[in-house]
Amino acid sequence: MDPATGTVAKLWRWPVKSMAGEPVNAMRVDGRGAGGDRTHAVLYEHKGARKRLTAREAPRLLAWHAGYPFNRDGGLDPRQPPAAIVSAPDGHRYRWGDPLLRTALEKDLGRPVWLKRDPAGQQDLANTLLITVQASLDALGSELGGSVDLRRFRPNLHLELDAPPWAELGWEGGELAFEGGVRLKLLHPCERCAIPTRHPDTQVKWPELLKHLTAAHKMCFGINARVMVGGRVAAGESVRFRF
């Protein structure tokens, strides 16, 4: 297969699992994934145990925003991410660990919750990044008859590549090499759950999205990756795919 080249179009991190995240100009990555990504989670009690609460069980979580407002240019150290700043739907801001944050979440979500912070990350697939590609996003929009908001898929790196739509779903085992020296090993395509069916702003459900991905693309959008060589990745820098 011919190599593909392109650029980093967008970068995102999601400090609190299932809350809205933040676009950044650059980020540092290491064996944990993206610095500060999903290092915080809201917990709930399920069958006598505390589990991470997601937008599957509580879509309202998507109306909350989390970020690191002073670390948007790649300065955040993945080994020591700070406490996230969380904004409620009404705009009130809390620092993670503030007892008032837990109280506000419980009131808004209508259930008891607990807060957990883990600098190692709390991804569903540990120690990974999620990569998406613009050609596939455009193709998906064409297939569904309208544009699709990238935020639904919660990627870390969004690329513009000179490859056909959906090509990345066949890139398992390949590598992405970035201009700044970062290298990623591509794992398997990302099989989507129901979370992308929720609009990131309104939380309105769009079940046809998952039905279409299931029927046309084996339920997949994007591809998971693991960091082989860490460092800083910035928007606009060049990237090359190769097997």
Domain with residue 62: its CATH number is 2.40.33.20
Amino acid at 179: E
- In this prediction, what percent of the chain has a pLDDT beyond 90? 95
Residue 202 pLDDT: 96
Work out the pLDDT band at 219, boundaries 50, 70, 90: very high
Q: Measure the CA–CA gap between 208 and 197, rounded to whole angstroms.
A: 8
Listing DSSP states for 179-230 in one string gives: TTS-EEEEEEEEE--SGGGB-TTT--B-HHHHHHHHHHHTTEEEEEEEEEE-
Residue 71 pLDDT: 87
Work out the pLDDT band at 1, boundaries 50, 70, 90: low
221: how many CB neighbours lie within 10 A of its CB? 26
CA distances (Å), origin 1, targets 177, 189, 242: 16, 18, 8
pLDDT tens for each residue of 127-148: 999 999 999 999 999 999 999 9
The answer to pTM > 0.85 is: yes
Residue 73 pLDDT: 92
CB 172 within 8 Å of CB 189: yes
Domain that includes residue 237, residue range:
1-243
136: Cα separation from own chain's centroid:
17
Quote the number of domains for the chain: 1
Q: What is the mean pLDDT of the chain?
A: 96
